[in-house]
Amino acid sequence: MSRIRSFADRPIPRWFRDAGLGIFIHWGPFAVPAFAPVMEPGGTIIDLLRTDPGNFGAKLPYAEWYRNALAIDDSPTAHHHRAVWGDLPYEGFRAIFEGGLADWDPAAWADLFVEAGARYVVMVAKHADGYCLWPSAVRHPRGDAVCSPRDLVGEVAAAVRSRGLRFGVYYCTGWDWSVHHVPVRRLGDSFACIPNEPDHVRYVTEQLDELVDRVAPSVVWADVGTPRGFDVARFKQRLVDRVPDAVINDRWDPPPPGSATPLGRRMLNAIVDAALPHLADRPFLPGHHRLADFRTPEYSEPDIPQATKWETTRGLGAGFGHNANEPDTHKIDPDDLVALYRRVEMAGGNLLLNVGPKADGTITDAESSRVRHLGAAVATEDAR
């Protein structure tokens, strides 16, 4: 590896600057229970943070957070789990997920993403539940492998690249609930849920290096920070040595000192709660890691072009993972989706639009029809 260099003057790679549309894929064992609370039609995480921050973790409409909500005794998810799954631990969903993939065809996904007009695809390789969607050779901090025996990430990478699309990976750099789990009830609890032990820093570092070596991603999408001691500069250097025009997002900041202590959590929650009402005035949240190539607001967007490259991400409904509890009528109106894409385009951003496949890999008609509508509408408008 060459000497670590400054990335301050590195231009945004043209492919990403001009991409316009990417597809996000949230898939894993959480697609087996496929449950999250439902908000009012059109409601999003931003609305929940404004109106009920004290019940953020219990009411968040993100099915991929099932394991977190399950750890909150009085949450809708915990009630649902007891009624439907009894005392099955979250780990029990793994065998069900892995056993239901016989008919999954990543080529069908790739064809759909081409119809959407996407230029790149970002797949969740490991979400906060700790499950890896590739057969990782990296030793887990607790000793047991928590990964798929089938290389789901590699298969999707091959399928989308065969259609001419770029491929990237999401990796939850901050949380791993199979290693350390302080239930996130309020947003300020997030920092206490980041493991900072040396063996976890080693685990994150080696798994990210492994993904770079295995699939040469054009995007690496971090989430909810990093453990203290993780070297972002070293990782980015490794990535661009492998893929010179690769990009990383902005969610790599470590937790503040003392944030894992009870006092630190109370103080951070007080600070965060005081700031949340201002989301009504500025939902496009500030923050930009010094090594980031682009910013990543979630369910929000700026109303004017920005000085730095950005990408907004959202699901077709109120969350990302497949939520069988959410009525199809709660998903974004197809024409509103087209209008959203055009607003993002006009403001200089990319839209990273999520699909949440069912456990067997099926993308529902409610989602696939909207994705196809977007692609057809944009292609027709651009041809005029």
Residue 176, judged by CB atoms within 10 A of its CB (0-12, 13-18, 19+), counts as buried
Cα angle 180, 185, 189 (rounded to 5 degrees) comes to 60
Structural domain contains residue 4? no
Q: Is the CB of residue 346 less than 8 Å from the CB of residue 313?
A: no
Query: In the prediction, which pLDDT does 108 show?
Result: 98
Task: Give the Å distances, CA to CA, from 105 to 66, 115, 195, 382.
Answer: 25, 16, 35, 31
pLDDT of 273 reads 82
User: Which tens digit of pLDDT belongs to each residue from 312-363?
Assistant: 999 999 999 999 999 999 999 999 999 999 999 999 999 999 999 999 999 9
Of 160 and 49, which is predicted with more confidence? 160
| Residue 58, domain member (yes or no) | yes
Q: Structural domain tally of the chain?
A: 1
Q: Which one-letter amino acid corresponds to residue 172? A: C
Closest CA to 73 of 191, 183, 189, 186: 183
303 belongs to a structural domain: yes
In this structure, what CATH number is given to the domain that contains residue 221?
3.20.20.80
In the predicted model, what is the mean pLDDT of residues 16-45? 97
Q: What pLDDT was estimated at residue 6?
A: 65
**Is residue 366 assigned to a domain?**
yes
pLDDT at res. 1? 43
- CA 169 remoteness from chain centre: 9
Worst-scoring range by mean pLDDT, 100-104, 188-192, 221-225, 273-277?
A: 273-277
CA dihedral for 270, 271, 277, 283, sign (positive or negative): negative
> Of 143, 136, 200, whose CA–CA distance to 173 is shortest?
200
Does pTM top 0.85 for this prediction?
A: yes
Q: How confident is the model over 9-24, as a mean pLDDT?
A: 95
Residue 256 lies in a domain: yes
Other Cβ atoms within 10 Å of 27 Cβ, number: 26
Q: Return the closest-CA partner of residue 359 out of 83, 129, 35.
A: 35
CB neighbourhood size of 136 (10 A)? 22
Cα–Cα distance, 345 to 172 (Å, whole number): 27
If you search the block for the tokens 């990408």, which residue do you land on?
311
How many residues in total does the chain contain? 384
Residue type, 59: K
Q: How far apart are CA 172 and CA 226, in angstroms?
A: 9
Q: Give per-residue pLDDT as tens, 236-263.
A: 999 999 999 999 999 999 988 888 888 8
Burial class (CB in 10 A: 0-12, 13-18, 19+), 383: exposed
Secondary structure element (H or E) that encloses residue 343, with its range: helix 334-346
Q: Which residues contact 266 (CB under 8 A, 6 or more apart)?
A: none
Helix axes 232-242, 198-215, angle to 10 degrees: 10
End-to-end CA separation in angstroms for the chain:
48
On the CB side of 74, CA atoms within 13 Å amount to: 3
Q: Is residue 123 part of a domain?
A: yes
Range of the domain at 169: 14-383
Q: What is the CA radius of gyration of the chain?
A: 20
Distances 151 to 158, 260, 329 between C-alpha atoms, Å: 11, 35, 34
Residue 359 CA to residue 40 CA, distance in Å, equals 25
Asked if residue 5 belongs to a domain, the reply is no
**C-alpha distances in Å from residue 166, one per residue of 160, 274, 320:** 7, 40, 21
pLDDT at residue 281, as a whole number: 60
Q: What percent of the chain has pLDDT over 70?
A: 95
Q: How far apart are CA 261 and CA 280, in angstroms?
A: 30
Mean pLDDT of 295-314: 90
Distance CA 310, CA 377 (A): 23
Q: Please state, rounded to an integer, the average pLDDT across all residues of the chain.
A: 93
Give the pLDDT band of residue 105 (cuts 50, 70, 90): very high
* Residue 25: DSSP 8-state: E
Summarize pLDDT for 68-85 with one digit per residue, the tens. Answer: 999 999 999 999 999 999
Q: Give residue 307's pLDDT band: very low, low, confident or very high (50, 70, 90).
A: confident
Spell out where 205-333 has E strands: 219-222, 247-248, 310-315
> Residue for token digits 């008919």?
103
Mean pLDDT of 53-71: 97
Whether 3 maps to a domain, the answer reads no
Residue 238's closest CA among 211, 201, 212? 212
